[in-house]
Amino acid sequence: MKLQKILSRFLKLHPKEIDLSLDRIKNLCEKLGNPQDKIKAISVVGTNGKHSTISVIFSILKEAKIKCNVYTSPHIQKINERFIFDSQELDDKSLADLFEEVEKINDNQKITFFEILTACYFYKAAQYPSNINLIEAGLFHRFDATNILKSNLASIVCSISKDHLDWLPKDQQSIERIVFEKTSSLLNSNIIVSKQKSINTTDYIKKTIKKNSSKKLYFNEDFSYSAGENSFFYYEDKFGGLKLPTPNVLGQFQLENISTAIATLRLLDLDIKDIDYKNGLTKIKSIGRLQEIKSGKLKSLIKNNKLIIDGSHNEDGARVLNEYLKTLECNKHVILGMMANKDHEKYISYFKDISSLTTIDIPGQPNSISGKELKEKFKGIKNVQYKKNIEQAIESIPLKENDLVIITGSLYLAGEMLNLN
């Protein structure tokens, strides 16, 4: 396939998957005519909730007939998910043509996979100067390829927690350092800070961006929400309150992401009507994030039982996932696969009320930890077992009526499972 061949060539342009520097992306974008200087962007940084927050904004903007482009990472099922222009995912041929054009201009110069993808996005986005771009920062923001914008409409700071610690010096693997990496280089425009795991994290953010001249909004200080009754919840900020329908995504934590999305859009004064917010919240498309699977190959294996796929992979993700699981009165069976560089013990420590735990291998991921090794780390957990693949894992679980099966631990695993399903 043409697209896959190009991507294979991209992967060979640099010996490292990640090489924290802005020089290569700046050099290539200069050859491309600095397209990043020609777009209107909302930058989204943080550890958890970035994709969900972008999905909410995207859904509301579509309802308001405001065209936008979206750049996210990683993709779950196919690379096209990362490239949305004029509110539509780019098809294979158009994406291949874009990649080939940028590849030719790059002229085989050393650049990482993520960097050249980002350059491709900026190059295409510049063709839609009136569109709003929703841009998700990658690993860390300070040296992330997306951080070459000279201006933007706003920066959203989603929940920040410990993740990707192996990219920091051992004596600096702290939440304070992570906050610095993600927020110290935010542009001077508008900064909207979502709910954080702790007051300390919020304080670190405030300290880091103290000298930034942006207008700043903080969750629970400038905007908030409260759970209502009869399938509604209430959002409130200085512009007033909104009575909103329960969104079509699972988990109480999603209301935090939704509130942050609404706060951003209302601050930017884009002439979005109340009905657009209401309708947008019922049409959010979120792949691999607490996604209930209602049909397909895997669903058929568990018959009438509920199946959820969730890509959470760090301690904060585990925390909010289990806050949701606690609201369910049923037996929960967890199938888990993880990447090798995660804090596996910390992740699983949040799972207090599960009936069984089955570890599996993540197919096609050399940087993952094997299911056998994962099981050995969880010896102290009741009813833990290892199975080689997802079919064996599901078939080994003694499911009863109303039981829940949740597949979690990695976005890569989520993608593999969705493709298999």
Residue range 200-245, pLDDT digits in tens? 999 999 999 999 999 999 999 999 999 877 789 999 999 999 999 9
CATH code of residue 314? 3.90.190.20
Q: Are residues 248 and 349 in the same domain?
A: no
pLDDT for 375-416, tens place per residue? 999 988 888 999 999 999 999 999 999 999 999 999 999 999
Domain boundary at 225, 250, 280, which?
280
128 contacts: CB under 8 Å, gap ≥ 6: 39, 67, 69, 85, 86
Output the DSSP codes for 285-303. --SSSSEEE-SSHHHHHHT
User: Own/partner pairs for 345-350, CB < 8 Å, 24+ apart?
Assistant: 345/377, 345/378, 346/315, 346/318, 347/313, 347/314, 347/315, 347/317, 347/318, 347/409, 348/318, 348/378, 348/381, 349/315, 349/318, 350/315, 350/318, 350/319, 350/321, 350/322
CA 389/CA 97 separation, integer angstroms:
36
> In Å, how far from its chain's centre is CA 54?
8
CA 118/CA 173 separation, integer angstroms:
27
Exposure of 381 by Cβ count < 10 A (0-12 exposed, 13-18 middle, 19+ buried)?
middle
Q: Are residues 269 and 322 in the same domain?
A: no
Its domain, for residue 374, covers: 291-420
234 contacts: CB under 8 Å, gap ≥ 6: 225, 226, 228, 241, 242, 243, 244
Q: Are residues 295 and 269 in the same domain?
A: no
pLDDT at 399: 95
pLDDT at 221: 97
Q: Are residues 247 and 149 in the same domain?
A: yes
Q: Are residues 237 and 363 in the same domain?
A: no
Measured between its terminal Cα atoms, the distance across the chain in Å is: 22
Q: Are residues 44 and 171 in the same domain?
A: yes
pLDDT band at 167 (very low <50, low <70, confident <90, very high): low
**Count of the separate structural domains present in the chain:** 2
pLDDT for 286-334, tens place per residue? 899 999 999 999 999 999 999 999 999 998 899 999 999 999 999 999 9
pLDDT at 139: 76
pLDDT for 136-166, tens place per residue? 998 778 999 999 999 999 999 999 987 766 6
Mean pLDDT, rounded, for 125-135:
98
Quick one: CA dihedral 7, 13, 18, 20, positive or negative?
negative
